[in-house]
Structure 1
Amino acid sequence: MINFVGRSETLSSLHQKLQATERVAICALSGMGGVGKTELALQYALHHEQQGTYPGGLCWLQAAEAEIGTQIVSFAKVQLDVQIPEGLKLPEQVAYCWRHWEEGGVLVVLDDVRDYQEVKSYLPPAESRFKVLITTRRKWLGESFEQLNLEVLSEDASLELLVSFVGQERIERELNEAKQLCEELGYLPLGLELVGRYLKRKEDWSVAQMRQKLGLEHRSLQQRSGDMTASRGVAAAFELSWLELDEQAQQLGCLLSILALAPIHWELVEKCLPEQDQEDLEDLRDEALLSLSLLERRGQGSYQLHQLIREFFSSKLEKLVESDELKGRFCQVMVTEAQQIPHTPTQRDIAKATPIIPHLTEAATAQKKWLKDEDLIWSFLGLGRFYGGQGAYIQAVKWYEDCCLETKNRLGNEHPDVASSISNLAGLYESQGRYEEAEPLYLEALELSKKFLDNEHPDVAIIINNLAKLYSSQGRYEEAEPLYLEALELSKKILGNEQPYMAANFSNLAYLYDLQGRYEEAEPLYLEALELMKKLLGNEHPDVATIINNLARLYSSQGRYDEMEILCLQALEMRKKLLGNEHPHVAISINELALLYYSQGKYEEAEPLYLEALELRKKLFGNEHPDVASSINNLALLYYSQGRYDEAEVLYLEALELRKKLLGNEHPDTKIVRKNLESLRDTEAG
């Protein structure tokens, strides 16, 4: 190598271990070929040859090429002029050589040992002057000596290695591209050296061009130079380990390549291979893939493939007869996992789903061809719920939009799952305040659902309810009410009274009545919804918190502040516990609590809460969202009540402009801000 980088600490650690023990094995952390085991051993030997650390000499043996005993005898005869008596068997000849070795410290390097038992009997005697350095792809070579696991390079060391081939100026000119290149090579020294040498020869190539061409089979990772320590390209180095795997272990490696380039919970693998005995599967993992360092353990029950090994296994997968079956199994497992993500996920749900998300993404993208028609929407829906449930609407929109596109492409424009996909996207647009985009989607989904599912189907009732909710958000109360009533009646008929969806319907209708000032009609509906939701989902659930918060809002409208405060604090505590501190529903509860204190004239307590809600909403939704406009209006109203007219006017103008843009001039919320601004100006004029 032109420049040996990123290994100074490892070299120091190696020397300490050699001086403290009789022998040490070097093994890559991932155990993969190309991590630089031989290069490290060579650099160590050259350095200490110059330092005179081992006056008894250096003996380098190639364990994979010929019998170690024969090599030792040949070395002793040629290099040390040892005269071996006739008639001795090979082990006796080796023992004689060690006894007659030159005086002083001796370094013996055994490169690429695959089976410790094959070399064990030929090792030098346990004398302190002999130091044995073994390089191996095996994770566990033996228990009688130290092991030093060699990791891939850091990003800085990887860049330094590239610079040593192509020069500082060329790398600095495309630093971000170079960093991406290092990452795509998994910081593997052999890959970096091969690509660096290739770029050195291709002076007109940019790093970006190299990235576009890069792949395990590209000539840059195949062609080695004669002055390199490594004797093979990357794929050829991996092939040596592949050939040591039996058929079942090879199939397991191929299955792992279907999953994403991310930590893999072993339970997922077991679910993909349910017919396999779990202990047998673990043995394949531990004694084959991990042992040969083709797989890396990341933590309790968590494993991951290196980028290039994953690509290598993936190329082998395409040659397997079972390839399609394995991909189908993986997709089916991902569908089942996606179905476990609830519509309103709690923190616990998010934590449970988080390790699955990269693999769910893989199913919805690279492996989507292997999703069954009836399961197609689930990977997208699971991802949408995961991100949307956290208020990460930008990511959620992508998956819902992709879901619409994929279902239409595969199933045609007229299919029940297409209707569901359109309705889900409309719901997310509504959450973002994109009401004008949401309405035509709801109407399209409703028409499709009625056409293919019959008018009396749960999905039809859901879409009608969602459309009513949209109209309510737009201030179109007269259009919303009959739809809510229709959805409620339909749900009762189809599902019966005791369903969470029925409780949600009661709550939605109550919220509409609250907005219309029909408080006496709203309260019994809220109480019925709350009782039913607690009965069905338990006392602590996001949907229970929503009803409690809405009931508190009703009490505020009625001036029942003591009851409101109890409910506000209860909803806020529950939401923080279940959803985390940064969630849209938490912002709603903070805003409601601020509204309570404002209504009671506790302005100093209200202001920091209004500011907190505003900051959180901007963080979650961006600057242009109906909830952001509401927070700005509320803060302006507070400042007006405190006589801080200049500050209030600026905020009223901002809220008015935002609501006009998002909701239109005739929306009730827009009219409220306009009226508030007029009141402020009248006060200033008077």
Structure 2
Amino acid sequence: MIAALVWGLVTQADKLEKILGWFGLKPGSQQTSGGKQPAAGLDDSPARQEATNNQGVVLQGVSQSTINVTVQQPWPAPDSHPKALGGRILSNLPPDFDGFVARRDEILSLTQSLEAEAGQVVIHGMPGVGKSTLARHYAHTSASSYGSGVWWLDATEGFEMMAIQAVPELEKALPGLEPGDGLTPEARLRRCLQTWGAARAEAALLVVDNLPAGRKGQDLLRCLGSGLPGQFRLLITQRSEPTTAVKALDLQVMGREDSLALLSLHSGESGRVRIEAEAEQAAALVNDVDGLPLALILLAGRLRLVPSLSVSALRRDLARPNLEAAAFQAAHADLLAEQGVVATLLASWQSLPEQCQELARLLSLTLRGPIPWELIHRCIPPKAPEPADAYWHQALAGLVGANLLDRLDSMGQIYGLHALVRQFFAIQRQNWPQEGFYRQRLALISQALASAHQGDDVAAEVNYWRQANTADPADTSAGFGLGYSLIRFGDLDGARKAFEQSKAAAQAAQDQRGVSIALNGIADVLVAQG
């Protein structure tokens, strides 16, 4: 069995060593920046460069020239390093939404419902109505009510990935808590929460964002709630109405005045002037999209980006996509969005320059959740003009300016896509001739980043292997890497699934060596299970 393990690892390492050589890396090693390197976001100022170099790991990329990339906390939730706020509480909250409007009654309802011991509230509602935004704003404005702390959990990918993201940072944050090597992700998360509860008697808040529907979501809450100390409150966001007897907040669209305020607040100074000058047209625009916050924010982005665009002209621009929206919805029934949101997405897409559309399609290939810019900015066409590491800067600014992409940290290293926007971008990827190239490029860079963090940050390692495996499922080395990284984390069920999928891919390709390595991996899982 030992020989089988060594064979599997060595075979995988053969390929990785060649790949990593292109990036100036060795498997399982990290290189600390010795000088100032260009930051991976929009701001290349000396202060920004110094800030990233203090913590960074430099990878040398390839195009026509060498590209230096600073790896800074890859693949965390935004601003996720736990901090003792005032020496008292733990928090990993992403930044509050810039330009939050109204929702006073909803905030009051959440406050009252979560005051009770072991209180639990589910915010549910249609896509684009602002569930996550409300949860984030409540967590920020009510943080002082939770003397033990506030923790944000991204449930999009289910319990195991939520635990893999949360556990390493919680283990670092809790004094005297060593990494739980040999424990499953569920056991490690439970140990963290129980240790946290034992250390602080005050109330704590867990925000579980984007709970999956059906059995997957129910299993997640069951695992999370098992043994959870009584001072923890749960605030959950999900699309569907809860099927269990819990306190629920059915989030509706805002009233006309609040909707107009939201539109105005995100339209920039000149946009606000135009809205005031065409008050009736602005009110009609709100009605055109049924007052949905996501649609209003996208429309505000158009007004901000195009100073010459009047509100009445924006309504005319929306008229044609509005006619197209019904047919678009019929063709893509899985896009669960109101017609006004679909029309706004179509109008925003049609106004984007070609390079912005190319970047949008590329972003739709990433895993759901925070998107690390050091991964994306190296995925460039083979003949990209110099400087190659700045190829996407203008397109990035265009998507952020159009409110289609959110910047989730102050350094411009982490970005996020609303679930509906991501799904819409994926639809626009259909018949995209460059998809194969970008999938291979994402897989290649993700494998390099995963190996760079082997033995240093297992959560980042797992996520990069997942990205590589998702981008190019036929590349069995990514599946092997994912399997062994999950073994190191303690997720043996996930590891076996990764090896099984790699075996199937190898069989489809008639790759007997790959099949043998996958079988070795499955055997190693069985050994680890005892």
TM over 0.5: no
Q: Which has the higher strand share?
A: 2
Of structures 1 and 2, the larger Rg is shown by: 1
Please, what TM-score do these two structures have when normalized by structure 2?
A: 0.41
Larger relative CO (CA 8 A, sep 6+): 1 or 2?
2
